[in-house]
Amino acid sequence: MSIPGEWYLILAAALFILGALGLLVRRNVLVMFMCIELMLNAANLTFVTYSRMLGDIGGQVVVFFVLVVAAAEVVVGLGIVVAIFRRRASSSADDLNALKG
């Protein structure tokens, strides 16, 4: 009783759409970062599903590198958000012009 790969792909598409909608609608930078992470994890689910369906390990190797890049993105992004939040009391995406020289 294995779950077919198409169900995983449908779930990945739903997660990606949910992350894209959250990225477009929300203005809080932390929520935007979470939506980007959700989209990256949806892509990872797609890679792992195709890797399992094709019997190839290449998709899982790509997922490892995507997770490394996502971790670096979170570190840099949260550093910028903390810098903005220290200068202003909010973390809205509209406050990003505060970092201009």
What's the pLDDT tens digit per position in 45-99? 999 999 999 999 999 999 999 999 989 988 998 888 788 778 777 767 766 665 5
Residue 101 in any domain: the answer is: no
Residue 99 in any domain: the answer is: no
Full-model pTM? 0.82
> For residue 49, what are its two tokens?
């599903």
Give the domain extent around 85: 5-90
Residue 77 in any domain: the answer is: yes
Query: CA of 82: how far to CAs of 3, 62, 75, 92, in Å?
Result: 42, 30, 11, 12
Alpha carbon distance 90, 100 (integer Å) = 17
